[in-house]
Amino acid sequence: MANSKFEYVKSFELPDTLLPNTWVVVRIDGRGFTKLCAKYNFEKPNDKRALDLMNAAAKAVMADLPEITIAYGISDEYSFVFHKSCTLFERRASKLVSTIVSTFTAHYIYSWSTYFPDAPLSPPLPSFDGRAVCYPSVQNLRDYMSWRQVDCHINNLYNTTFWALIQLGGVDNREAEQLLAGTVSGDKNEILFSRFHINYNNEPEMYKKGSVVFRDYELVEPGTHNAERDADALAEPLQHTKSQAEKDRKRRGKAPIVVQHLDIIKDDFWDRRPWLLS
Ligand code: ATP
Ligand code: ATP
Ligand code: MG
Ligand code: MG
Ligand code: MG
């Protein structure tokens, strides 16, 4: 087929390489999951099986694509972060997004029966959309992650109160909505506690904080190890430092992929895992 008279059509393909040296976030989101929740009777406000399934699919994506540094999931969405030095698919957006979306969807469907053994899938099957966004600085990237986690908190507090009013308080959807209109978070905590004896702080961490997926490498005591390492590195010949960095990278690549429900807004998470953003 090389050099056929048809080949000129290739020139219609437009370049879509992402800006170099920026953190690439691919966020996927379930299509029409409001309907899917109803079809498979997801428990409200949080169906643990569905969240565990999202997390299993995200872990599988990270295992398939070692270039992903960290991922964060809530509800029917997951954000996958590629290191700013990543050159996978020459950083072509459509390749990156479509690969993540299809890998995730494939694993989601593959693992469905493990988490929903009594509810076999039938068309329309679950599917996901995706987009890629570049963040030029670590601060921008951390603000992005914080944005998603704040969203998780706001939505979960609202949904927990909303569904408590309905499931335990016996009001209908419209009444629950009216009762919550104009409330701030303190009001919702108060409704939960005074009316239903629910202390929001005791709700499961996965619901309150979402899910963080990363390679579980050694933890660093903030303010100590780092500085020592840098001093050591400066004292070593360049060659040695390089091979050490390469060894570190390989060890990190082999570290087990874990799902944890941690605060990623505060510095602590990042300070203890400096390799994530270095
Ligand atoms: P779109 O295709 O535009 O994304 P959508 O119906 O998926 O439409 P979203 O804004 O993505 O809309 O919202 C997802 C819906 O699925 C929310 O209502 C959310 O509460 C629900 N949902 C997702 N995961 C779970 C879960 N594990 N348990 C209960 N509900 C869930
Ligand atoms: P990339 O990830 O870059 O797409 P690739 O290995 O998938 O790498 P392609 O250019 O997509 O490379 O080529 C797909 C290969 O699979 C070709 O060699 C093609 O001949 C082979 N292939 C695809 N479908 C079939 C099929 N049904 N029977 C036999 N060979 C097939
Ligand atoms: Mg959705
Ligand atoms: Mg969503
Ligand atoms: Mg191919």
The ipTM (two decimal places) reads 0.92
For residue 39, the domain's CATH number is: 3.30.70.3000
- 190 CA to middle of ligand 3, Å? 30
List, for residues 197-237, the tens digit of each pLDDT value. Answer: 999 999 999 999 999 999 998 888 876 655 444 444 455 55
Within a domain: 108:
yes
Each of the 278 residues of the chain gets a pLDDT tens digit; together they read 568 999 999 999 999 999 999 999 999 999 999 999 999 999 999 999 999 999 999 999 999 999 999 999 999 999 999 999 999 999 999 999 999 999 999 999 999 999 999 999 999 999 999 999 999 999 999 999 999 999 999 999 999 999 999 999 999 999 999 999 999 999 999 999 999 999 999 999 999 999 999 999 888 887 665 544 444 445 555 566 778 878 887 888 889 999 999 999 999 999 999 999 98
The CB of 52 under 6 Å from ligand 1? The reply is no
Q: What's the residue count for the chain?
A: 278
Within a domain: 47:
yes
The CB of 76 under 6 Å from ligand 1? The reply is yes
The CB of 32 under 6 Å from ligand 1? The reply is yes
How many domains are contained in the chain?
1
* Domain limits for position 223: 20-142+205-241+251-276
**pLDDT the model gives residue 242:** 74
Within a domain: 188:
no
Within a domain: 227:
yes
User: Which residues place a Cβ less than 5 A from the ion ligand 4?
Assistant: 29, 75-77
Considering the entire predicted model, what is its pTM?
A: 0.92
Distance CA 9, CA 11 (A): 5
Residue 156 contacts residue 47 (beta carbons within 8 Å): no
Sheet holding 257-260, edge to edge: 128-135, 23-30, 77-82, 68-74, 211-215, 257-260
Within a domain: 212:
yes
- 29 CA to middle of ligand 4, Å? 5
